[in-house]
């Protein structure tokens, strides 16, 4: 059943379905689908969450403030904002944070993936496949699964708190590194829980792979970071399965943000082509070879190939990424030696810098221009959901076109599910969702 | 055996949003009292993880601002294990996070909760970002703290 009332306004040839608010996505917006003679004429995301003007009020602030200010864009993926901002500013300062500090940053990123993916898999997405209105109802019949999700999420939260000072909007990250780095003992207490989490994540991959999935494949242009040596979190070149392979500083040479009337979030497109997809499906498909053998094996046993083009199977891919994040976190902690200094100096410089990291929902790009005093003169932030927005619309257009004969309530339900495939964060993109299907 | 009951007091809300800070305000006043057996936490994001940690306590007291149209400062008490906590009265901090009604409902479904879970809602009047808490709400919070200190937070066998 739909998670909220689907109100039929018209019957027979001309029908309108309204859903007041799409549940289990972050932010506010709506969707409009117009169908004529069983053909989809138009699909629109009507994102009406107010623009938040972060790029404007970053101007005039110091370069050191960008990470903490931009982290406030999102309570679900603040680490992505912190890290993209830090990398961009370090690019301007001409420094590179490497070695143990870089490892700690990867660990911090792992905590966000565990926390965010864990929440989406168990609390927001699984109820769609198992036929429940929400995770609370699902808990009645699948308490073990919900409890596992809560425990995984708590592990991500605890790790975030250890490294970042608190579980939401961490405050221990700065340009050049950290304010304080943990002792080995502080991190060692996560070894046992991470061993549990790896087993739990393997089980999750197998469990979600048994869900019923629509037979639905899309021909996406997958865009993600790619690093020569590791599954991408914080660094790499931007690549796509259609030939893009660029330094992140070339972002706006290849990608363009366009304003559309029905959205306060900009749409991103590949300049020479059109929509593209970023996020778990893209990362996985562009970087499968970089996953550790144990993770590849779990994916294979779950029926995933080296690429995945069924957006409904994103829940499997997210589970694979949680497994990876737990594995990577354990590796980092087991090899951890406390850095001698929590950060390296990052003196201000005039220039332009770029940062791009892999938020749970996809690539998050930042570009800043500062003066010689380190004052921000210009800021550009391209969030994953705004990059994915057009692909989601196209996806829905294709999905509804193949399913126009479904009754309104089922179509509405599956459209909502299709949107949740992307774990969209509208608050990020406007820095979404009412659904309206108009049939004639 | 424990000497006395253990209690976790959890303030929910947003410290930068006027009366939405009332849960924090009340919890912090209780923290200042250093009461034996009483642990205090403030949660501004997702509180669902509480379910993984609060079972070690005998009792949980949750405090948050409400916006249900009652007079500012009105205090409402819910026994969360015996009655539903009204979703419409409690502010949700994010569609990706869960507030008191969802946490208590989920804990009930999973059977993972302290023996007693009490929710206090204090009706707010102003939830504007950057504003201070209103006088009526502040007075109500202090009255609730005093009431709890005389009653539900007193260890077994002691009187105040």
- One-character DSSP codes across B32-50: HTT-TTEEEEEESS--GGG
Report CA-CA distances (Å) from B5 to A43, A95, B10. 58, 54, 16
Res A369: pLDDT: 97
Residues 6+ apart with CB under 8 A from A118: A149, A152, A153, A156, A322
- Considering only alpha carbons, which residue of chain A is nearest residue B103? A136
User: Chain A residues with CB inside 8 Å of B93's CB?
Assistant: 75
Residues 6+ apart with CB under 8 A from B98: A123, B46, B47, B48, B92, B106
Res A87: pLDDT: 98
> Do the bridges between strand B7-12 and strand B38-43 make them parallel or antiparallel, or are there none, so unpaired?
parallel
The beta-carbon neighbor of B48 closest among A140, A150, A168 is A150
Kindly report the number of other CB atoms within 10 A of residue B97's CB atom.
Answer: 21
User: Chain A residues with CB inside 8 Å of B45's CB?
Assistant: 75, 167-168
**How far apart (Å, rounded) are the C-alpha atoms in residues B110 and B105?**
9
- Dump pLDDT digits (tens) for A375-407: 999 999 998 888 888 888 888 888 888 888 888
CB contact under 8 A, B109 and A136: yes
CB contact under 8 A, A143 and B110: yes
- Dump pLDDT digits (tens) for A182-225: 999 999 999 999 999 999 999 999 999 999 998 889 999 999 99
| Min Cα separation B69/chain A (Å) | 22
Whole-number percent of chain A with pLDDT over 70: 87
- Dump pLDDT digits (tens) for A43-100: 776 665 556 688 888 999 999 999 999 998 877 889 999 999 999 999 999 999 999 9
CB A181 within 8 A of CB A101: yes
CB contact under 8 A, A25 and B95: yes
Query: Residue A32's pLDDT band (boundaries 50, 70, 90)?
Result: confident
Residue numbers of the domain that contains B57 = 7-150
User: Chain B residues with CB inside 8 Å of A153's CB?
Assistant: 46, 48-49
CATH number at residue B33: 3.40.50.1450
Give me the residue label for tokens 């294979």: A300
DSSP code, position A51 = P
* pTM listed for this prediction: 0.87
Would the pLDDT of A132 be above 70?
Answer: yes
Res B94: pLDDT: 53
Q: What is the CA radius of gyration of chain A?
A: 21
The DSSP code sequence of A306-332 is S----GGGHHHHHHHHHHHHHHHHHHH
Q: Can you name the residues that pair with A15 across neighbouring β-strands? A: A439
Stretch 103-132 of chain B: residues touching chain A, C-beta under 8 Å: 105-106, 109-112
| Min Cα separation A104/chain B (Å) | 24
Kindly report the number of other CB atoms within 10 A of residue A258's CB atom.
Answer: 10
Res A168: pLDDT: 82
**How far apart (Å, rounded) are the C-alpha atoms in residues B24 and A81?**
27
Kindly report the number of other CB atoms within 10 A of residue A373's CB atom.
Answer: 10
Q: How many beta-carbon pairs under 8 angstroms link A with B? A: 56
> Do the bridges between strand A29-36 and strand A435-439 make them parallel or antiparallel, or are there none, so unpaired?
parallel
CB A350 within 8 A of CB A370: yes
Q: What total of structural domains would you count in chain B? A: 1
Task: Kindly list the averaged pLDDT for each block of 10 residues, start to end, along chain B of length 160.
Answer: 79 89 96 94 82 92 91 94 84 64 91 94 90 95 94 62
Assigned token pair, B103:
């946490």
CB A20 within 8 A of CB A412: no
Residue B155 belongs to a domain: no
Q: Is B72 helix (H, G, I), strand (E, B) or coil?
A: coil
Among residues A432, A436, A438, the alpha carbon closest in space to that of A18 is found at: A436
Give me the residue label for tokens 């392979």: A245
Assigned token pair, A325:
């994040």
Res A53: pLDDT: 81
* Predicted ipTM of the assembly: 0.81
Backbone angles phi, psi at A268, to 5 degrees: -100, 140
CB contact under 8 A, A123 and B48: yes
State how far Cα A114 lies from the chain centre: 12
CB contact under 8 A, A136 and B44: no
Assigned token pair, A246:
């660029």
H-run or E-run covering B123: strand B116-123
Domain ranges of chain A: 66-214+313-370
CB A314 within 8 A of CB A321: no
Kindly report the number of other CB atoms within 10 A of residue B106's CB atom.
Answer: 26
Query: Residue A243's pLDDT band (boundaries 50, 70, 90)?
Result: very high
Kindly report the number of other CB atoms within 10 A of residue A435's CB atom.
Answer: 26
CB contact under 8 A, B49 and A157: yes
- Dump pLDDT digits (tens) for A137-150: 999 999 999 999 99
Among residues B52, B54, B57, the alpha carbon closest in space to that of B2 is found at: B57
**How far apart (Å, rounded) are the C-alpha atoms in residues A155 and A295?**
19
Stretch 46-65 of chain B: residues touching chain A, C-beta under 8 Å: 46, 48-49, 51-53
**How far apart (Å, rounded) are the C-alpha atoms in residues B160 and A322?**
50
CB B144 within 8 A of CB B120: yes
CB B140 within 8 A of CB B122: yes
| Min Cα separation A136/chain B (Å) | 5
Q: Which CATH number fits domain A66-214+313-370: 1.10.579.10, 1.10.645.10, 3.40.50.300, 1.10.390.10?
A: 1.10.645.10
Residue B34 belongs to a domain: yes
- List helix spans (H) across A260-378: 280-287, 293-301, 314-334
Query: Residue A5's pLDDT band (boundaries 50, 70, 90)?
Result: very low
Res B3: pLDDT: 59
């Amino acid at each position: 059943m739909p998670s909220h009332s689907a109100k039929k306004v018209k019957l027979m040839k001309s029908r309108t379905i309204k859903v007041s608010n799409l549940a289990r996505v972050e932010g506010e917006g709506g969707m409009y689908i117009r169908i004529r003679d069983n053909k989809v004429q138009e699909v629109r995301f009507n994102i009406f969450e107010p623009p938040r003007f972060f790029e404007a009020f970053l101007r005039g602030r110091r370069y050191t403030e960008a990470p903490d200010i931009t982290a406030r864009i999102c309570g679900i993926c603040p680490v992505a904002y912190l890290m993209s901002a830090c990398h961009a500013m370090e690019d301007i300062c001409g420094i590179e944070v490497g070695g143990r500090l870089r490892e700690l940053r990867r660990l911090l990123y792992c905590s966000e993936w565990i926390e965010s993916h864990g929440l989406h898999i168990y609390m927001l997405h699984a109820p769609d496949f198992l036929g429940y209105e929400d995770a609370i109802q699902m808990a009645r019949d699948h308490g073990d699964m919900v409890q596992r999700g809560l425990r995984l999420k708590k592990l991500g939260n605890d790790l975030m708190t250890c490294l970042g000072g608190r579980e939401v909007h961490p405050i221990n990250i700065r340009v050049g590194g950290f304010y304080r780095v943990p002792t080995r003992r502080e991190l060692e207490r996560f070894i046992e829980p991470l061993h549990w989490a790896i087993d739990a994540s393997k089980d999750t991959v197998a469990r979600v792979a048994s869900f019923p999935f629509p037979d639905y494949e899309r021909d996406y242009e997958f865009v993600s970071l790619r690093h020569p040596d590791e599954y991408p979190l914080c660094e790499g070149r931007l690549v796509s399965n259609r030939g893009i392979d660029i330094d992140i500083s070339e972002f706006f040479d290849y990608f363009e943000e366009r304003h559309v009337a029905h959205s306060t979030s900009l749409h991103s497109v590949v300049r020479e082509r059109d929509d593209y997809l970023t996020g778990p499906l893209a990362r996985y498909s562009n970087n499968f070879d970089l996953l550790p053998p144990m993770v590849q094996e779990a994916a294979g046993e779950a029926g995933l190939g080296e690429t995945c083009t069924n957006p409904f199977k994103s829940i499997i891919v997210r589970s694979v990424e949680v497994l990876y994040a737990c594995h990577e976190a354990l590796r980092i902690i087991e090899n951890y030696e406390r850095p001698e200094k929590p950060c390296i100096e990052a003196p201000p410089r005039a220039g332009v810098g770029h940062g791009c990291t892999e938020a749970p929902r996809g690539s998050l790009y930042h570009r800043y221009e500062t003066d010689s005093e380190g004052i921000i003169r210009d800021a550009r932030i391209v969030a994953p959901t705004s990059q994915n927005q057009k692909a989601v619309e196209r996806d829905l257009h294709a999905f509804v076109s193949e399913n126009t004969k479904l009754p309104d309530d089922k179509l509405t339900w599956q459209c909502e599910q299709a949107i949740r495939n992307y774990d969209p964060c509208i608050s990020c993109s406007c820095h979404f969702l009412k659904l309206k299907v108009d049939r004639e | 055996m424990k000497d006395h009951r253990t209690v976790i007091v959890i303030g929910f809300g947003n410290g930068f949003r006027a009366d939405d800070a009332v849960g924090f305000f009340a919890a912090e006043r209780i923290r200042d009292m250093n009461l034996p057996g009483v642990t205090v936490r403030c949660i501004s994001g997702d509180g669902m993880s509480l379910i993984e940690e609060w079972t070690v306590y005998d009792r949980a007291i949750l405090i948050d601002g409400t916006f249900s149209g009652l007079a500012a400062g009105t205090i409402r008490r819910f026994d969360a294990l015996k009655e539903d906590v009204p979703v419409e009265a409690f502010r949700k901090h994010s569609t990706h996070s869960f507030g008191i009604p969802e946490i208590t409902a989920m804990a009930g479904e999973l059977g993972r909760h302290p023996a007693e879970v009490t929710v206090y809602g204090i009706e707010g009047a102003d939830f504007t970002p950057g504003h201070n808490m209103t006088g009526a709400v502040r007075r109500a919070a202090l009255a609730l703290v005093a009431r709890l200190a005389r009653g539900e937070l007193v260890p077994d066998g002691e009187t105040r």
